[in-house]
Structure 1
Amino acid sequence: MRIFHFQRFLSIIYGILKYMAFGIAIYSLYYSTNPNQITTEPVDRVRRVTKRIDSEHQSNRQHFKSGFEHDASRGESYAIETIQNNKTSVQDNLARKTLEVVIVTAASARYFYALKNFVGSVHYWERKRRIAVFNIGLTQAQVEQIKYWCNVDIHWEWGIPRSKRMASKDPWEFNWKPFVLTEAIDTYSAILYSDAGSDVRAPLDSIDNILLNDKYFFVNGQDLDMTSLGHEETFRYFGKNKSQSIFKNKPSYAGGLQGYVKSYKIDNLIIKPLLECARSTRCMSPKGSSSINHRYDQTALSIILYSSGLQITAHTEFITTSKQDLNPDPLRKSEYTIYTGRKTSNDFIGKLCFKQPKMVPFTMKKNHKTNHQLSNHYTSTQVLMNKHNSNEIDIQGDSERIQTTNAPKGKWINHSVFLRAKQIAAMSVRKP
């Protein structure tokens, strides 16, 4: 039984092999006319299919790769942008916390009384605010007084430096102002410049916020068309023309109130062109210009700002030229922060703050032959001890308020007004 099944299995295997041999013979006979077909066609077909598959695979890989890289680059750029924005935001916040906006002004001898009122107004509303005063024609006695005002830095102690190569040193031609702005920005980084003829009528917080956010602060309000009081030569200096639409029927930017935060952009777009203008005889005060046909620094500033491409918003809502707009009580907050009074205000003279004065002993001795005569014995390090009581000068604060009183031995006086006291004493001496 088992042998039978084995023989049957062998016959089946034999039949299969026979049919396979027959098939191979027929296949060889069929392709004998074109032997290359046997070997190349299947290979070519495989190659074509493989190539197509590879290309599709490569395409898919490239697609996924580029998509991934694109998404990765987008993610990376987004992350970098977010970090930079956050960094900028943090830096801005730190800048707001660390940057102190310094009040800057300038004055000549004619404006000294107005300067005292202006500084007094800052002392009243912003007690801790630092103030920088530039000397553009003050007397030495006035400079000595300023040294004893609270929180005040005096610049150009001996007047406008010779090293400042300005076209004109006439204070009324305003070539000095760009030099003041440049030095103030370099020194303090964040400044608010105001003319000394103005005064402060409210806290400066709102102006500070705008200045630190925008990096600049400007106002309009003096005219409706800057070309009406702008000398043609100033326009030509900047390569411009009065008739251009960017200037026509546009108000001037005021030179009496402007603010800056130190930056590369502000320096290149505004400060440097303004400084170069002040050095040229053709620009800020050209030949033939006067207050009748020209606004000097304001004309130059307005041309620069309108040509800068900056999107500037003028904050004229903070200023007024009319005292009627102010609170009748100057010690109460007004709607307008700055009153551009042009030396017409004296509301804050009494609010001027003085430092602890540097004192020197100073004696006026009574003489039988003359009136009061200065003692030649005084020193900055020790009290002059007199054996007898004498009539001595008692100086408190302002050199203009000098009184002669009976005083104890060795009276200390403010050194800042020593020269003035000496002049008054000398004037009171009678010739024998």
Structure 2
Amino acid sequence: MVLKRFSPINTILFLCILVILLLIWSNRRLKDDSSEYGIHTPGHGYDRSKDKDGTPTGSNLPDPEKDLPFVLDHTNSPLENLKINYTIVTAASSNHFCALESFLYSMAEVMEELERTEVRPKLVVYNLGGMSPEQLAQLEYLKENQYMDEYKDFDYSKYPDFWDISVARGEYGWKAGIIKEVADKSRGLVLWLDSGNMLALDFLRYLPGYLEKFGFWSPQSSGSFRQYTHEGLPQFYGDTLDTYAQETNCNGAAIAFDASNDRVYNGLLKEWYTCSSTKECIAPKGSSRANHRQDQAALTYLVKRHRYMEQCRHFPEHYGVTVHQDKVCRERIRAYKIMKGLDQETDVVDETGDEDEDETTNA
């Protein structure tokens, strides 16, 4: 028997159905991960003493398996009673535009699930430069259709010359600059997410409670402190790499601060910004992507040095966050447009440019 070939129309319909099923499976998997790992709220079972400047310390550092109770313990969303500003911020240059568009569609789906009684976080997007006219037009379209609340071109002229993203990716110093800009303006909760990330709704809901207790959040990244930190960074502070050699790394792809907390704002956040503004600190001589993670290494060192209660000891999935989804951005965009009945002829591709050697700090 000779099998009939699919007609072009049948082939297109089949592919559309396949893409939709992929999106449904991916979203369900993300929610299942959130349920399995447990999104947590803080504050159980360890010493909450503080050092002389008020920074949370504690002789009992958090137990990686027991530091937070499950989100299912809660019956009400903290977003229903949130009284301070809550801002999500991301950024992208021309060669990460696809990831940015996918991120905005993903966030739109998450925001749609919020109840009317819940506060909707503000979403801010920074353009890191190099955008083509087509990309800029698409950004304007996304802004007009409320996929973001605010769009800004990053003003490099206000910051150190070495932050120029076209040279060594600006040593990623601009990330702390952007977060501080948003924190200065809002003095509320600031959540940085790389544009390749996705998150579950429950994480968005319960992060405010976590920040109220600890003031800072970042999940664990791969490797040890020694593996991804050049010795010049701790030496800048008169310290040695051996002090924290086997410690876990914080994650440059996902970071949150409670900027309404003066100790956090004037302490960790500003000190991270100061280090990021000093090349000898964030990118010491002899450092490279092979042995150093610029913004991430600086943040990790300061968190460990000051012994913050949040010690970056859980991977992102533990909280309902998935990082580094850049490589599937086109599939996600197509699936979203099919689901929403949007025009697929307007796809905007990334500009050619250097890709990151390692995904751990894609923005």
TM-score by length of structure 1 reads 0.52
- Per-residue displacement from partner, 1:291-325 (whole Å, max 9, x unpaired)? 111111111001111112322253625x24xxxxx
Following the alignment from structure 2 to structure 1, what is the Cα–Cα distance between the partners of residues 83 and 345?
34
Map of 1:134-283 to 2, 5 A cutoff? Answer: 134-139=126-131, 141=133, 142-149=135-142, 150-157=146-153, 159-165=154-160, 167-170=162-165, 171=169, 173-188=171-186, 189-203=188-202, 204-223=204-223, 225-244=224-243, 247-262=244-259, 263-283=261-281
Q: 2:214–2:309: 8 Å Cα contact kept in structure 1?
A: no
- Per-residue displacement from partner, 1:183-225 (whole Å, max 9, x unpaired)? 11122321111111112244421333312443221211312x2
Following the alignment from structure 1 to structure 2, what is the Cα–Cα distance between the partners of residues 195 and 152?
15
Alpha-carbon distance change, 397 to 265 in structure 1, aligned in 2, over 3 angstroms = farther
Q: Per the alignment, in what secondary structure is the counterpart of residue 156 of structure 2?
A: coil
Letter paired with 1:186:
D
Following the alignment from structure 1 to structure 2, what is the Cα–Cα distance between the partners of residues 131 and 197?
15
Alpha-carbon distance change, 271 to 166 in structure 1, aligned in 2, over 3 angstroms = farther
Alpha-carbon distance change, 172 to 166 in structure 1, aligned in 2, over 3 angstroms = closer
Q: Per the alignment, in what secondary structure is the counterpart of residue 280 of structure 2?
A: coil
1:105 to 90, 109, 126: 90
- Per-residue displacement from partner, 1:270-301 (whole Å, max 9, x unpaired)? 12111111221201122222111111111100
Q: 1:202–1:338: 8 Å Cα contact kept in structure 2?
A: no
Shift of 1:111: 0.6
Alpha-carbon distance change, 345 to 215 in structure 1, aligned in 2, over 3 angstroms = same
Which has more radius of gyration?
1
Following the alignment from structure 2 to structure 1, what is the Cα–Cα distance between the partners of residues 85 and 174?
24
Identity across matched positions, percent: 21
Letter paired with 1:251:
T
Alpha-carbon distance change, 398 to 265 in structure 1, aligned in 2, over 3 angstroms = farther
Letter paired with 2:232:
E
Q: 2:248–2:313: 8 Å Cα contact kept in structure 1?
A: no
Shift of 1:126: 1.6
Following the alignment from structure 1 to structure 2, what is the Cα–Cα distance between the partners of residues 234 and 269?
18
Letter paired with 1:120:
Y
Moved more, 171-180 or 94-103: 94-103
Following the alignment from structure 1 to structure 2, what is the Cα–Cα distance between the partners of residues 117 and 186?
28
Q: Which residue of 1 aligns with 2:308?
A: 310
Alpha-carbon distance change, 336 to 305 in structure 1, aligned in 2, over 3 angstroms = closer
Following the alignment from structure 2 to structure 1, what is the Cα–Cα distance between the partners of residues 159 and 345?
32
Q: Which residue of 1 aligns with 2:323?
A: 340
Q: Which residue of 2 aligns with 1:119?
A: 104
Q: Per the alignment, in what secondary structure is the counterpart of residue 259 of structure 1?
A: strand
Shift of 1:112: 0.5
Letter paired with 2:129:
G
- Per-residue displacement from partner, 1:344-385 (whole Å, max 9, x unpaired)? 233642547xxxxxxxxxxxxxxxxxxxxxxxxxxxxxxxxx
> Structure 1 regions of 5+ residues with no counterpart?
1-92, 321-334, 353-394, 402-432
1:294 to 292, 295, 305: 292
Letter paired with 1:164:
Y
Alignment root-mean-square deviation, CA: 2.9
Letter paired with 1:147:
E
Alpha-carbon distance change, 336 to 304 in structure 1, aligned in 2, over 3 angstroms = closer
Alpha-carbon distance change, 143 to 341 in structure 1, aligned in 2, over 3 angstroms = same
Aligned length, in residue pairs: 249
1:133 to 125, 134, 138: 125
Shift of 1:399: 4.4
Letter paired with 2:198:
D
Following the alignment from structure 1 to structure 2, what is the Cα–Cα distance between the partners of residues 268 and 308?
13
Point out which structure has higher relative CO (alpha carbons under 8 A, 6+ apart).
2
Q: Per the alignment, in what secondary structure is the counterpart of residue 174 of structure 1?
A: helix
Shift of 1:267: 1.9
